Chain A
Amino acid sequence: MRRLITTLVTVSLAGCASQQKPASSETPATPPQATQPTAPADAESFRATKPEPGKPPELVLPSFQKATLDNGLTVLVSTRRELPLVFAGLTFAAGSAQDPAGKQGLADLTYRMLLEGAGSRDTVALDNAFGDLGVSPFQDVAADGAQVGVRVLTRNVDAALGLLSDVTLRPTFAPKAFERRKKQQLADLVRRLGQPTALGQIVFLSAAFGSAHPYGHSAAGMPDTVQALSLEDVQGFYKKHVGPAAAALVMTGDVTLDEAVAFAKKHFGTWKSQATLPAAPPTPKLTNREQVNVVPKPGLDQTVVIMGRPAIAAGNPDEFSLELATTVFGGFFGSRLNMNLREDKGYSYGAGASLDPRLGVGPLTSYASVRSDVTGPAVKEAMGEVSGLKSRPITEKELEAAREGLIRAFPGAFESVEGLGSSASQLFRKRRPMDEFNRTVEGLRTATAADVQRAAEKYLDPATLQIVLVGDPLLIQEQVSPLNLGKLVPVEPDTQPGVTRAGP
């Protein structure tokens, strides 16, 4: 659920589930020293019971409205009038899944170029023009699409849309700016490849999907693929993928559908392009785990542990059953995985799992950073929780907690216009209906215990989970080999050319 709310595909530390309590031997009662007399115990006895909830309020879900211009541009609106704020953004249907083979990172570089000069302005002038409105544009580029947007005061919407129109329809693509931006992208890759968690993610995507699959790489690409990109590639991607038939103007907050359509006509009405909606990525081949991928980081104090697999696409009938199962397994703080690894064992600051249904089949990922000297025990416990879904089936109590928790969290998750904007953007990218959130709540409500248990056993089958470990190779060798999870294979996504290097 949260996945629709946030644009970043991150593995969160939340969890939800079983009540495994750390063993506690005694509870010494040591009342605080009081300067005023404590009320007699009987007057305080009401504290012993958890209060009864009041009458539940009606569930308020975000509502989205849609219109289409003559040129094919989609307009998506969610009205929220309390504050004079509007989020306005252009969402594009093409993302890193549309990167051509050998040119991973092209979508990212193309969209970043939009802000490196547009209309009559170069990089600095464009930034200052946004700055005069008090705005820094926000960009996100992901597998299923991208967005560039701003959050402005209502009265600045028109001016901001004028700039966004330049950025979208009239990017300069100046050669000098391209060369500079490309170097920045390359340096940023060097930076990413120095981060254990980012490294783990990169290796996980290629292990789960295969490096040739549209979802098998991160949006940033790799050093050698980005190095190979030319300005022509960028212009080609833009021409092929960026156009009204493959884009949406998203406006949320202090704006109505009629106002948004008028803005869209004014700023984007003459936009023409051959770009069409890209096809959904093919279903990846699911293979059982044959090896454990180890990214060597000698001496690292923590080991990053990522486990997961390609799971389901948005709209799959299993989606909500699996969302509930994932929540019990690792979605909430109180989940089986987090209560075990963090609260019972103290191995980690947090362990969690999340489901990312995409336009195509997206990943189910579980994640933890664990103290390096307990890597073996932590991996064993995590795998134990996976197989435990079958041997210790999800209880009614666990299921109802996840169900109520997910459904009732909806209103609180849509407080900001930018949050609404990013949700609208996700709906467009995944080509979901406008009443998706009503469908989601309905799906969560009606999933039966049998559905949820079946989804847990089907998608969280231990044999199908790919494993990536980033950490000290000797420690990992010593502690993980005895677990018989597969041959340990060193994998180094290097800063040197050559995407991944599998060692002997």
Chain B
Amino acid sequence: MKALVAAALVLFGLPALAQSPQEAKPLEPGREALAIPYEKYTLPNGLEVILSVDRKLPVVSVNVWYHVGAYHEQPGRTGFAHLFEHMMFQGSRNVADDVHISMLEQLGATDLNGTTSFDRTNYFETVPTHHLETALWLESDRMGFLLDAMTPEKLATQKEVVKNERRQGTEAAPYGLAREAAWHALFPLPHPYHGDVIGSMKDLDAATLDDVKDFFRKWYAPSNATLAVVGDFDVAKTKALIEKYFGSLPSHPKPTRPTVAPVKLTKPVVIRHEERIAQLPLLSMQWLTPAYFEQGDATADVLATALGTGKASRLYRRLVLDKQLAQSVDVTQQSQGAQSVFTLNVVARPGVSTDTIQKEVDAVLDDVRKNGITAEEIQRARTRFDTRTLAGLQSIGGFGGKADVLQSYNHFVGEPSYVAQDLTRYETVTPEAVKQFAKETLSPDSRVILHAVPPARKQAPVEPKERR
């Protein structure tokens, strides 16, 4: 659930409806609303299927996860998993070139996109109930017969599209290049996280048609995919349709996931970046933290919330309200398969030095290392997670909706209906555990510190002059 919120993701590029994260109160006793009824089975070719009926509205979500992401890329090919995701929309043996999205749009699909993270690539659409078969047909054709329609021209165009996507999110985005530099420092080569999901211009340019073919043949087999159908559908009929469209797709044994030694930072890395886009200075601190669901991951979530969520959070209170040095704070535990990243961002007020900000942040962190946080803060964080989770189940599909939730738990722990167990993790977080985590994992000696500072002439004056 939360991994879906924080994961580094790159989308195929359709608009998402504006979602404002809001949270609420704990669900005990019972947490009945969190139990998602589902059925899971596997076809002979290895395709996993998850079915979950939800008759709230006459719509059904089809959602396919391929268990491959940027983590599985070859050296010199950063950004490839995501570039490949774009190729999946370009047509296949029986689906004409570049009509996949238009076709779905025209029949009233919503929540229609694909996204790539380090751990997986997913494709989804929510369709009116009478178009379920069309969605299954589309998904099965690209799963089985993508390469029949692959051309060098298509690859050349999508490389350009993806490079524009990169410009929009990196070169031309506030702090984009600065954040990328910090990310590189966190995961030095040859770690597969080094390139981030979007990859580098050089590597995107280098991708070939053979790369596309090899990647598809290795990773895009039914044995490495999970199909979820969630919403208002007839189970028996849908099983027959899934058999019809997916049952005969050729496959091979599930490819093995490469293992990579975890990165350890032994001394602080300080990056001073001259910021060309944003006009306010940014101080960012990042640490490597335990992977999703490992011991410490839940503790990190709680601490991130206590430090940075809401006006009463520790960093906001001190830096924004009391000292008025900062404009905003933002703290996240980005939970990922191989290793997570704990990020603390503070945007400074005009003219305030990031070194000053760092001293203040360090004072707050030192206090947590010494005294932990209060039981009250932990309880508040829990209630936020509980409600955010329940609210996330309102949409059957789309980014982070019910189908994604089932898929995500299935991917990471092998059990689709794991919502309540996930939330139980937070009940074991104690003030003492937070203190230990802050001391051992968030050590001052094992972090990347980024100062992204606009040149002096670009920084606004601290006090704008009165207009005459």
Residues of A near any B CB (own CB < 8 A): 2, 5-8, 10, 12-14, 16-17, 19, 21-36, 38-39, 43-44, 46-58, 60, 82-85, 115, 123-128, 130-138, 140, 150-153, 155-156, 180, 183-184, 186-188, 190-191, 193-196, 223-224, 227-228, 299-302, 332-334, 339, 342-350, 352, 369-371, 401-402, 404-419, 495-498
Q: Which residues of B contact A124 (CB under 8 A)?
A: 311-312, 317, 321
Q: Are B279 and A228 in contact (CB under 8 A)?
A: no
Chain B's closest residue to A102 (CB) is: B467
Query: Does B96 make an interface contact (CB < 8 A)?
Result: yes
Tell me whether A54 and B133 are in contact (CB under 8 A).
yes
B134 contacts A50, CB within 8 Å? yes
- Inter-chain CA distance A405–B112, complex, in Å, is 13
**B300 CB, nearest partner CB in chain A, Å:** 19
B40 at interface by CB-CB < 8 Å = no
3 nearest A-B residue pairs (beta carbon): A408-B108, A346-B160, A334-B102
Asked whether B58 lies within 8 Å of A57 as measured between CB atoms, the reply is yes
Beyond the given pairs A51-B134, A128-B380, 4 more chain A to chain B contacts, judged by CB atoms under 8 angstroms and listed by A's residue number, are A22-B154, A138-B20, A184-B327, A409-B109
Q: How far is the CA of A22 from the CA of B157 in the complex (A)?
A: 9
| Bound CA–CA A19/B99 (angstroms) | 7
Interface magnitude class on chain B? 35 or more
B20 cross-chain contacts in A, Cβ below 8 A: 7, 138, 140, 418
**Complex interface: chain B residues within 8 A of A334 (CB):** 99, 101-102, 105-106
- Which residues on the A side are within 8 Å of B327 (C-beta)? 184, 187-188, 191
Inter-chain contact A413/B17, CB cutoff 8 Å: yes
A153 touching B387 in the complex, CB below 8 Å, given contacts A30-B147, A33-B252, A127-B312: yes
A134 engages B25 (CB within 8 Å): yes
Residues from chain B with Cβ under 8 Å of A55 in the complex:
130
Residues of B within 8 A of A46 (CB): 244
Which residues on the B side are within 8 Å of A140 (C-beta)?
A: 20
Chain B positions within 8 Å of A8 at CB level: 18
CB-based nearest B residue for A51:
B133
In the complex the two chains form, is A47's CB within 8 Å of B137's CB?
yes
**Interface presence of B14 (CB below 8 A):** yes
B421: Cβ under 8 A from any A Cβ: no
Asked if A35 contacts B380 (CB within 8 A), the reply is no
Cβ A48 vs Cβ B148 within 8 A: no
List of B residues within 8 angstroms of A82 by Cβ: 56
| Inter-chain contact A58/B58, CB cutoff 8 Å | yes
Q: A22-B153, A48-B94, A407-B108 are in contact. Are A135 and B465 (CB under 8 A)?
A: no
Interface CB pairs A-B, < 8 A, 17: A19-B96, A27-B150, A29-B93, A32-B250, A36-B251, A53-B134, A123-B321, A133-B383, A134-B384, A191-B280, A301-B171, A349-B13, A371-B160, A371-B163, A404-B107, A412-B397, A496-B460
Q: Are B22 and A135 in contact (CB under 8 A)?
A: yes
Query: A51 to nearest B CB, angstroms?
Result: 4
- Give the chain A neighbours of B59 by CB distance below 8 A: 411-412
Q: Which of B180-188, B257-265, B360-368, B388-396 contacts A (4 or more CB under 8 A)?
A: B388-396
**B153 and A24: CB pair below 8 A?**
yes
Q: Contacts A13-B15, A401-B106 given: A34-B58 contact, CB under 8 Å?
A: no
B149 to chain A, nearest CB (A): 5
User: Which B residues touch A339, using CB under 8 A?
Assistant: 98, 102
Residue among B21, B128, B158 facing the most chain A CB atoms (10 A cut-off): B128
Q: Are B277 and A194 in contact (CB under 8 A)?
A: yes
The listed residue (B14, B130, B221, B245) touching A57 by CB distance below 8 A is: B130
Interface centre among B24, B148, B250, B349 (most CB of A within 10 A): B24
Q: How far is the CB of A324 from chain B (nearest CB, A)?
A: 13
B122 close to A (CB within 8 Å):
no
Which residues of chain B are near A128, meaning CB under 8 Å? 312, 380
Q: Which residue of B lies closest to A83 (CB)?
A: B33
Residues of A within 8 A of B278 (CB): 191, 194-195
Neighbouring B residues of A50 by C-beta, 8 Å: 103, 134, 137
Asked if B165 is at the interface (CB within 8 A of a chain A CB), the reply is: yes
The answer on a CB contact under 8 Å between A416 and B24 is: no
- A10-B18, A190-B280, A350-B13 as given contacts; A83 in contact with B110, CB under 8 Å: no
The answer to whether the Cβ of B444 comes within 8 Å of any Cβ in the partner chain is no
Residues in chain A near residue B144, CB distance under 8 A = 32
CA distance A344 to B103 in the complex (A): 17
CA distance A415 to B159 in the complex (A): 35
A21→B102 CA distance, assembly (Å): 11
Q: State A178–B454 Cα separation when bound (angstroms).
A: 28
A186-B464, A191-B278 known; A369-B174 Cβ under 8 A: no
Residues of chain A lying within 8 A (CB to CB) of residue B26: 134
- B293 located at the interface, meaning its Cβ lies under 8 Å from any Cβ of chain A in the complex: no
Closest chain B CB from A311 CB (angstroms):
19
Contact with A along B440-468 (1 / 0, CB 8 A): 00000000000000100000110011110
Contact B321 A183 (CB under 8 A): no
The answer to whether B149 and A332 touch across the interface, beta carbons within 8 angstroms, is: no
Among A10, A19, A47, A413, point to the contact of B94 (Cβ < 8 A). Answer: A47
Q: Which residue of A lies closest to B149 (CB)?
A: A27
Q: Are the CB atoms of A332 and B33 closer together than 8 Å?
A: no
Residue of B nearest to A2 (CB): B17
Could you tell me the distance between the alpha carbons of A349 and B347 in the complex, rounded to whole angstroms?
A: 28
B98-138: CB near A (< 8 Å → 1, else 0) gives 11011101111111000000000000001111111110010
B57 CB-CB contact with A under 8 Å = yes
Whether A409 touches B147, Cβ cut-off 8 Å, given contacts A127-B310, A188-B327, A301-B172, is: no
**B301 interfacial by beta-carbon distance below 8 Å:** no
Q: How far is the CA of A134 from the CA of B26 in the complex (A)?
A: 7
Distance A17 CA – B19 CA, assembled complex (angstroms): 26
B87 within 8 A of A: no
Asked whether A497 lies within 8 Å of B94 as measured between CB atoms, the reply is: no
